Chains A and B, each alone.
Chain A
Amino acid sequence: MAQVTLTHITKLFPGAATPAVDGISLVIPKGSFTTLLGPSGCGKSSTLRIVAGLSKPDNGMILIDGRNITHLSAAKRNIGMVFQSLALFPHMTVAENVAFGLKMRGLAEAERRPKVSRALELVELGHLAERYPHQLSGGQQQRVALARALVVEPSILILDEPFSALDRKLRESMQIELYRITRSLGITAMFVTHDQEEALTLSDRIVVMNQGRIEQDGTPREIYGAPKTRFVAEFMGLSNFLPAQSRGSALVFEGVTAEKTMDAGVPQECFVALRPEGLSLSVAKPDGPALNGRLAEAIYQGATSSYTVELPTGRRITARTPDCGLQPGQDVWVSWSPDALHAFAA
């Protein structure tokens, strides 16, 4: 396991107006699980391919444990990679797929065999060693891809949206399995996804990317609980953006004043966001700050219901709370828990 350092990585694809990766600098500590999170086209996969050696950066350096590997071919970097399409070798059995990296490293059959069976045990596929990839289910193929990447004891495990083809249930169980395996082996891992829930579940650290740059970098708790920019806030599921003024330690929006300790960076003219899950509705005016409006829409969704409230200014905010039996057209009050309120520069 190793520490990976990226400095000022830049990649401009021929014909593109803006760089796909625009001066990314990042340190991935030894043994940490770091996720690059962002919408498609934000440069996260390009960054990953540069670390893997499948694509050359136009500028910048990649170090593994202080050693410059920028100009080393993919074959010599000692990485283990799981591709979005899995890229299993269709003409090889499960065991041959897993053994491939060891074979390329010149290990003899006798040395390979115990390593391969240990890797297959780790992903609970020992009984399918002689099958071919097309005979396996999607989840089993996923595990083969993971075993194949782990067996070479890579300096860094690289995963490019590996679960995007799986259905929700299988994806969740694979996430938990990946969490368990990477933590028990203490692996340095770099993961790419556009799914914020997946990023929150798996990561020690999340790097949110947008337009080739790092938007915010922090623990899942920091990214979710204290998004620094509107982009991160929206990507992490925040909504209900309202224009506001900041006055010392208070925010004024929609004619309501709310106490809030804020970052120094928030200007006087700013935006607030209210997390839909942190809102509650009531017919009677609650204590403390609250917004008054007319319930425009109530949609039952099982565990929670989605309520859209139209404010006197015509703006709408959405609350997600357990079903509370309110009907559209009713006059309601919307209040919030302190940590559901966030303020940003516009």
Chain B
Amino acid sequence: MKNLKQFAVRAATALFIVLALCTVMAHRIETLLLTEVRTETVPPALKMADGITVVKVSPACIFTNLNGEPCVMLLQRREGPWGTELYVEETQVHIYSEDYDFCVLEGDLSGQTLAVYPSRRLSDDETVRCVLE
């Protein structure tokens, strides 16, 4: 009976140490597997001749949502179980005009940070990690 108890305590201690190591490793793996994004800060808004407020962004900032409409991915911060984490918020936009160099969007998004060139397809509310952060 005493041997059995000793064995149980030894096994539980070993298991506890292994589990703690696995938790630390799992956290790192989870971070590595997060979608990697680059960021672009939206420049100040411009007023067009027809009175519409627009912002000029790179075409890489424009994504297509599930309904096939254009959208941008705003980079936001929130408190997660392991501290502050970054996530993307899908925001539908109206394209005023576009060409090879720039895309002009209706609305005032100036100063906002947009996610660009993700390592894989992004979805709304997805936790991401910024390259070089």
Partners in one complex: no
B interface residues, Cβ below 8 angstroms from A: none
A interface residues, Cβ below 8 angstroms from B: none
